Chain A
């Protein structure tokens, strides 16, 4: 896990509202993320951040998520310590929905919500994964009473869009299976 204090990157204003100021911040964040090992979960700590708008969310979250999705070596992003007073989660949700992208929001240590564009089917699966922490496609399919092929496809999509992690487990009887896990 790597923590990035967003407020430290915009120390004078603590606002994420002007794209022109945030472009170099995004570039700095991305270059540091590229140095990190595979499967790292990066936490965007929003403590101290005040006003945000769509352009700010787009520059710092959506564009970074788009880059993470393109990386061969998977890395993940979670936003945390969002301000209720400044309605951060609402703004991020609206902005990412327009970009058809999603991000995990750590509400507290045991609770996550998903901001941005998430289909109902994906939301149901994500809730199961995050409640159970580590799951296989078979477990999800059985729990949700869905066909395993369908669930496997959905889980792959959720992994590719960096909303869940994936590891390969060797089975005692031979063969392998994928295990999907929550980011928090």
Chain B
């Protein structure tokens, strides 16, 4: 499966998952040779797919060194399996990349960190605050930390799997992107028995209810619902998207929009939150 030049955002992942399902899972070959740019959420997706299909997935690395260098900076290779690293080493000196001097980007980047089931890593809190406080976004820090920690808590407690999280600040665009993904079965699949006969979009609506529901796990719903009901202060713009079980949703406090639909996908759940200066 050939990847496009630009791997950016959940739309890219949705396209890739649908192509993968169409082609079938027998011949798993990710051809990243044309990739020039990759965003944190797409790097996380690649990691999770490599984890899921360990041993049976072949990867052709990007020809361009720039995306590989960025992936290294994201700590992609720290979490990737040896088979993935070997694939990349066919075209790139990954060992040297990993040993190079790193600029301190703690004011812009929270590298990919692994989320384990049943263990909550608190380091993400101070790392995220550092990025936001460095760009005079202290007032945002508490809200962003609250959002991220609720989503991580959901992965730890309910995905029955591991995941990854990363945060990137783009100084020229003045935009923050939060990327999380897990290797679970997906929100719709995990809840569909509780809501028989409901459409996927309605099940996602239930998962992110802003009012507490007694129909299912109240504690879980309380956390996810709080992510939806937050309003970001001032003139900042905010976009919260979720990709799960083959569909991409944009979630606001007033509605859930199905941005893209597709074939059922069992590849976990991905969250992307973008915050930027309003115009």
Contact = CB atoms under 8 A, between A and B. Distances in A.
A20 B120 CA distance: 9
A17 B222 contact: no
B89 interface: no
A53 B146 contact: yes
Given A19-B153, A20-B156, A98-B226, 5 more contacts: A17-B146, A50-B125, A51-B142, A53-B146, A55-B149
B219 A17 contact: no
Interface of B is mostly: helix
A15 interface: yes
A86 B142 contact: yes
A17 B142 contact: no
B150 A54 contact: yes
Among B118, B146, B222, max chain A CB count under 10 A is at B146
Nearest to B157: A20
Interface in B153-170: 153, 156-157
Given A51-B149, A55-B153, A99-B212, A17 B226 contact: no
21 contacts: A15-B122, A15-B125, A15-B149, A18-B152, A18-B156, A19-B223, A20-B120, A20-B156, A20-B157, A51-B129, A51-B142, A54-B146, A54-B226, A55-B222, A85-B138, A87-B142, A90-B142, A91-B142, A98-B212, A98-B222, A99-B222
Interface of B: 118, 120, 122, 125, 129, 138, 142, 145-146, 149-150, 152-153, 156-157, 210-212, 219, 222-223, 225-226, 229
B212 A18 contact: no
Contacts of A20: 118, 120, 153, 156-157
Q: Determine the interface band of chain A, counting residues with CB < 8 A from chain B.
A: 20 to 34
| Listed residue (A13, A52, A54, A99) with the most chain B CB atoms within 10 angstroms of its CB | A54
Contacts of A85: 138
A19 B118 CA distance: 11
A51 B146 contact: yes
Contacts of A52: 146
A15 B121 CA distance: 11
